[in-house]
Each structure stands twice: as structure tokens, then as C-alpha cells.
Structure 1
Amino acid sequence: MYPENPQRIDLDQTELINFIFSQIALACVLPGSSKLVALTKLQDLSMRFYREGSRSASAFFLLSILFWPEDPNDNRWKEASSAKNEKVLISAIDDLQRLCMLKTKPRKGRIVTHYREEVRALGVWCQENNLTLNVNKTKEMIVDFRKQQREHPPIHIDGTVVERVASFKFLGIHITDNLNWSTHTDSIVKKAQQRLFNLRRLKKFGLSPKALTNFYRGTIESILAGCITAWYGNCSALNRKALQRVVRSAQGIIGGKLPALQDTYTTRCYRKAIKIIKDIYHPSHCLFTPLSSRRRGQYRCIKAGTERLKNSFYLKAIRLLNSHH
């Protein structure tokens, strides 16, 4: 079932755990079997769990068994045991205790604990790979819509408190902790209005409406419609009016018809949905589930418990796809 020399075979961690457990079971049933592997070799094999940063409780349990001394008070063990083996044993015991605490905590507390554990693991990984996290550029934003909100203790990285913010600019989009898009729309409206000055100057220079339209699409519409599928659906009516006001101003300068921002949003949602459906490797491909063969081209709607989810891209895209058939 297992190779004679597992060190030469690249077993994954699950297979390696099963192999070591089978060796322990074989040693209990047939202590003199010729297929038994020496303890030192098992220790060498289990060191993979320590080096690769395993998160399996079974791996930590095996490390604690294999590196546990038969008699801790025996001076011969202290001499034979290296500092590295002691470090592996202590690390495995600490990880087992940490996993035990995670499993015994209430479910609501586990989410916060897992989040903090991921931050801690990221810091450890950076140290092991000679990387340094810039804590001054690292921000923390908490999105919590529970009725009974609780106090969240600050996150620490290398002993430094991570700054907590109410909004953060990510890939050109201003995201707030209440998922309100007023901050983002105010920012892009201000930026687009500055570009209108350039459009007016070009109009005075006598450029044709076609050239002005191309300038509008490249410098103004690109700002207003940047990542529009992610945020426009949950914009308030006031935000949409402010955005459309910029489009109307540009339309008055050019003297021709420009597409409304709502039409741009609808078109891009439909195109994006088609791309996701065609790409089976896209992470969101599984959200577009076709209905039975009798209703070809129709997709199953996602149940929405909130208006925020109802107005999100995925539900809007599914409604558009179903309306086109």
C-alpha cells in the first residue's frame, strides 16, 4: 500500500500522516515486523509538518508522540536530544493547545479568532521568508452589521498596533465599513468635474464632436464607470443623480447624445456575466446555475435576504441573462 522508501516518494501531508499512523499501529501489533521503519526515520519524515507549517491536528499529535521523551528526567535523553527537537516538540504542543481552544470557543467567537490567527500566520510566514510587513501601510477595517455589536480589540503585527480605519481605497474604489458608496461617488464626481474643464477647453479650440466624444470616453467616462459592476447597484438615488449630472454636463459641452450611466452599468453587467459563464475556471462560475433543459438559457436566482445582496452584481446579472431569453 505504501512505498518501501517514502522519503523518495513525494507524499502529500494526508498520505504521510496515514503512513506514520500505520507504522505506529504495526509496531503495536507486530513489534518485530521487517516492514517497520526506524523511529529516527519517522522523525525525519514528520519534520515536513514542521517545515511546511501544517495546520492539521493529526500532524501536531504525531510530532508530539514521535519527539516525546520516554523519560524526561533521564540525562541521556537530554544529551541526545538537540535543541531543534525540543523546539519541534514545544511547537507541536502549543499548536495542539491553540486548536483545542479554537474548537471549544463559541461559533461567533471563532470567526474573530480565525481572522486573528490568519494575521499571526502571515506575520510568521513573512519572518520565515525574510520579508517584512510595513505596519504603517497596513490598515484594518471591520464590517459588522450585527444588532449587538461588540468591542473588537486591536490587531498587532510584530508588536505594533494596526491602524483601524472607517474607509479604505482598494484598486481605485473607496470601501467603507458600512458598505455605503457615498465616499466613492463623491470622489469620482469631483475627479470627473475637473476633467470637464479640459473638455470645455477642447471645445473652444474647435474640435469635432466625434473627437470630443472620444476624449469624454477616455478621460471622464473611464472614471465614472471604473469597476461600476461592483458598486453602482447599491448606490443611493442621490449618488446616481450626482453621477448622471456629470454626464449631462459633458453632453451639453459636446452637443451630442451620450449613454446614460445606468445603461453603461447594465451593459457591463451582462458582458461580465457572459465572460464568467464561459470561463469554467472563474471563482464565480458556480454561482450561475442553469435551470432544467426545458428552460434553456435560464439561470437559477440566488435567494437574497437583504436589499444589499438583491442589488449586487450577481443577482442583477442573473436577472439580465434571464430577461434576454
Structure 2
Amino acid sequence: MSIPSSKIYAYADDTAILVQGRTWEEVKAKAEFALSEIMNWLDLNLLTLNLSKTYFIPFAIRRNTKPTNTFAITAHSCQSRMVLCTCPTIVKADSVKYLGVHIDDGLRWEKHLDTLSNRTLRLIHIFKSLRESAGFDTLKMVYLALCQSIIGYCITAWGGAAKTCFLRAERAQRAILKVMTGKPRRYPTTQLYIDCQVLTVRQLFVLRSVLRVHGCLPPSDPRKRTYIPSSIQHNTSFAKRQYYVLSVHIYKKLQKELDIIDLNKYRVNLKTTEWLKQQDYIKTESLLTYIT
């Protein structure tokens, strides 16, 4: 179904509706209309919306632009809204978990990175037990299967988060690598990644961003693949940390370094991965610096 001024994102039985407006009053009206349309559609198809598991998040970049505490969205089922309405309101949340990702109202990804770090650290006991009987190659395969799969999940969504939040995930990753290789707590970080030959969390974000942008380019035809996607210009630091802005800038910088535009995706993956393994923390962070 299609609802005016709204976007619907659905996967199995998890559905999200995105509504935007110039004022919170406009957002409220559009959201209640969209919710009413969905409830009517469900009713016609003999289905019911579970309001106890339905939440809304008012997104705002700055705290002073957030709606007041009295802001609420009502799930109207009454025919007329002019009379006293007793329809229930849905719960307001600061963050929700959608398809395994914790989305907060400021898109700062703090809660998701905390959850990610905790999930990663819970793997320590596995590597403590396994390192006594397995070689490094086996340990690395287990790391890629268990740890990096957790770290890399939806990383293009949250991988541009501020360094102050992002360090939590990288510390958790380093803890796993030190346990896996039996290194002391104060073992040098740079040497640790050289020994393990794995990407840092931020480097993994860079790699995934480059591959996604590269996959959107025209087919590998020299007559067609002669351009790089145009940059999206934004002035706010918030926008500059988001994938849809940051990914193109990262790709442009990697293109200047590696000349990857005419390579297939497999070779781009190999070439970019090997280059990233040779870069230090400062160089990796410089790739995320917004250029004009």
C-alpha cells in the first residue's frame, strides 16, 4: 500500500513508517493519518495492529528542536475526531531496535555501539578456550565468522559515528584480538592489527562503503564508466557523518590513492583491503574528513 507523505519500510512482520514535516504539528497529523490508514487496511484483511509493541521516535538533530513532553501520536479508530476521542496513544521511545540495529532519536548510535561492544566482549570466553587447542589460522577463521560478522552488520548505517562513541566498538574488537593471540593488555595497537592482519572497525566501514558505491556504478565498460558519483554538499556535522554523504567522499579519496574505478568488485575488495591494512589510525580517520 502507498500512503501520501510517508515511506513504508517492511521486512517480514517488522514494519516502519517514516513521516516528515516542517513542524511537529504537521508531523503529528501526517503520522496519525498514516497510522489510521494502516489500521484500516489491516482490519479489511482480518489483521490487527499490536499497539503495545508499536512505538514512535521523534527524530531531531539538536535537543532544542525536539518536541515537548506532551507530544503524542494517537491511533485513531473513531469515525469523527471532532468529539471527545478515547483512542489509545502509542508509546514514545528514545530508541528502538529495528532489524537488529538500535536506532536512537538523534542518530548518534550510542546505544547501538554499547550493545555491539557488549555482544563482542561476550565472545572472549570462546577464544580463551579455543586458543589452547587451535592454530592462528583457525582462530582467525572463527574471528571472521563470529566477531567480524557482528561488527560488520549494517555498519554502513552507523559506521560514520563520532570518534568518542566509535572507540567503544574498537576497544571491544582489540580485546578479542588480544585474547585470541594471547597478547598482554598493553600490547601496541598498531602492531596488534599487523600481527592479526584484520581491519579495524572504522576500516571495515570504509571498505563496505567503497564496495557499495562501486556496485552502483555503471557496468565495467570503458566508454561508460568514466565518472565518479557527484558529492552531496551539506554544512552540518551531523550530515557529514551519514553514509549517503560520506560514502562518496571516501570513494573519491580511495580512487585517487588506488585507481579502482575500472576494477571489478572482487579486485576492488582485495586492493582496498590490502591498502587499508597498511594504514594507521590517523590516516584511516582522515578518509572520513569531509572534502568540498
* Same fold (TM > 0.5): yes
Q: Quote the residue 2:36 is aligned against.
A: 120
Match status 1:212 vs 2:142: no
Task: Quote the offset at 1:241 in angstroms.
Answer: 2.0
- Asked if structure 1 preserves the Cα contact closer than 8 Å seen for 2:127 and 2:139, the reply is yes
Task: Quote the offset at 1:116 in angstroms.
Answer: 1.5
Q: Quote the residue 1:245 is aligned against.
A: 171
- Asked if structure 2 preserves the Cα contact closer than 8 Å seen for 1:297 and 1:322, the reply is no
- Asked if structure 2 preserves the Cα contact closer than 8 Å seen for 1:167 and 1:174, the reply is yes
Q: Give the Cα–Cα distance (whole angstroms) in 2 for the partners of residues 208 and 222 of structure 1.
A: 20
Q: Give the Cα–Cα distance (whole angstroms) in 2 for the partners of residues 148 and 313 of structure 1.
A: 23
Match status 1:203 vs 2:131: yes
Letter aligned with residue 57 of structure 2: M
| Greater relative contact order, per chain length (Cα 8 Å cut-off, separation 6+) | 2
Q: Quote the residue 2:109 is aligned against.
A: 181
Task: Quote the offset at 1:278 in angstroms.
Answer: 4.8
Q: Identify unmatched segments of 5+ residues in structure 2.
A: 5-20, 78-86, 182-194, 257-292
Task: Quote the offset at 1:190 in angstroms.
Answer: 0.7
CA 312–162 in structure 1, closer or farther in 2 if over 3 Å, else same: same
Match of 1:223 among 129, 132, 150: 150
CA 107–259 in structure 1, closer or farther in 2 if over 3 Å, else same: closer
Match status 1:171 vs 2:111: no
Secondary structure of the 1:175 match is strand
Match of 1:311 among 237, 241, 251: 241
Q: Give the Cα–Cα distance (whole angstroms) in 2 for the partners of residues 208 and 157 of structure 1.
A: 61
Q: Give the Cα–Cα distance (whole angstroms) in 2 for the partners of residues 116 and 232 of structure 1.
A: 33
Match status 1:193 vs 2:121: yes
Task: Quote the offset at 1:252 in angstroms.
Answer: 2.1
Secondary structure of the 1:270 match is helix
Name the larger-Rg structure. Answer: 1
Residue pairs, 1:127-142, within 5 angstroms: 127-142=43-58
Q: Runs in 1 of length 4+ with deviation above 6 angstroms?
A: 52-55
CA 118–54 in structure 1, closer or farther in 2 if over 3 Å, else same: closer
Secondary structure of the 1:211 match is helix
Please give the TM-score of this superposition, normalised by the length of structure 1. 0.58
**Equivalences, count:** 208
CA 180–53 in structure 1, closer or farther in 2 if over 3 Å, else same: closer
Match of 2:215 among 252, 272, 275: 275
Q: Quote the residue 1:153 is aligned against.
A: 72
Between the aligned residues of both structures, percent identity stands at 19
Task: Quote the offset at 1:216 in angstroms.
Answer: 0.7
Task: Quote the offset at 1:168 in angstroms.
Answer: 0.2
CA 150–192 in structure 1, closer or farther in 2 if over 3 Å, else same: closer
Deviations 1:201-222 (A, max 9, x none): 1012x20101100111111111
Letter aligned with residue 217 of structure 2: I
Q: Give the Cα–Cα distance (whole angstroms) in 2 for the partners of residues 54 and 142 of structure 1.
A: 19
Q: Give the Cα–Cα distance (whole angstroms) in 1 for the partners of residues 177 and 145 of structure 2.
A: 15
- Asked if structure 1 preserves the Cα contact closer than 8 Å seen for 2:72 and 2:89, the reply is no
Q: Quote the residue 2:192 is aligned against.
A: none
- Asked if structure 1 preserves the Cα contact closer than 8 Å seen for 2:160 and 2:241, the reply is yes
Match status 1:262 vs 2:202: yes
Please give the TM-score of this superposition, normalised by the length of structure 2. 0.64
Q: Quote the residue 2:185 is aligned against.
A: none
- Asked if structure 2 preserves the Cα contact closer than 8 Å seen for 1:135 and 1:157, the reply is no
Task: Quote the offset at 1:230 in angstroms.
Answer: 0.4
Task: Quote the offset at 1:303 in angstroms.
Answer: 1.4
Q: Quote the residue 1:143 is aligned against.
A: 59
Task: Quote the offset at 1:321 in angstroms.
Answer: 2.6
Letter aligned with residue 316 of structure 1: L
Letter aligned with residue 124 of structure 1: N
Task: Quote the offset at 1:163 in angstroms.
Answer: 1.3
CA 149–207 in structure 1, closer or farther in 2 if over 3 Å, else same: closer
Worse overlay, 148-157 or 158-167? 148-157
Q: Give the Cα–Cα distance (whole angstroms) in 2 for the partners of residues 54 and 321 of structure 1.
A: 35
CA 110–215 in structure 1, closer or farther in 2 if over 3 Å, else same: same
